[in-house]
Structure 1
Amino acid sequence: MNGTTRTSDDPAAFVETVRSVLREQRLRARRSQADVAIAVASSRKRVSDFELGLVDPGFGFVAALAAELGVPLSISTPADPFGGREPLFVDNTPAEVI
């Protein structure tokens, strides 16, 4: 994934990017949905539904999946709660948190 993904205009686009990056990494690693699901204590259906965009399983699931697949995922909190926000990184690509 190259470039910067900004979510201030379209948060759904950022979520879709996260789904896409995680699915692509799973496929590159030649791992099945079932294999990854077992590794993150979930079900193959939940992984499939997430990859298809049918559910939003929450940050814990996404973080576990990212860790299992070796995809860097970090969220920075606002430096100043009343000012600007720090970036969110997925696969080393910054995206603005809204």
Structure 2
Amino acid sequence: MVDAIYAALEKAGAPGVRVVVSESGWPSAGGFAASVDNARTYNQGLIDHVYRGTPKRSGVLETYVFAMFNENQKPGDATERKFGLFCPDKQPVYPVTFPK
């Protein structure tokens, strides 16, 4: 999808516009397919992918993982409270590794 954005920007005459993935994540509990294992797999895959870049553009793609912390007091669906890499007490929900 990011390469589609790059291609559209090039076609529009704006190839130098910076692309940022502003929020991407997976819940670790609270709904269908929301599990610690699925969240870890998704977020680790995302981290690994954005450090490599895309087929169209190599290099690190600026990306923000949603979210840093689980929000145990957030209203709404149970999944909305479980997107964090860390619990409110700062303990990791699951391990992820950032490339150096």
TM-score, scaled relative to structure 2: 0.28
The structure carrying a bigger strand percent of its residues is 1
The structure carrying a bigger helix percent of its residues is 1
Structure with max Cα Rg:
2
**Larger RCO (CA within 8 A; separation ≥ 6):** 1
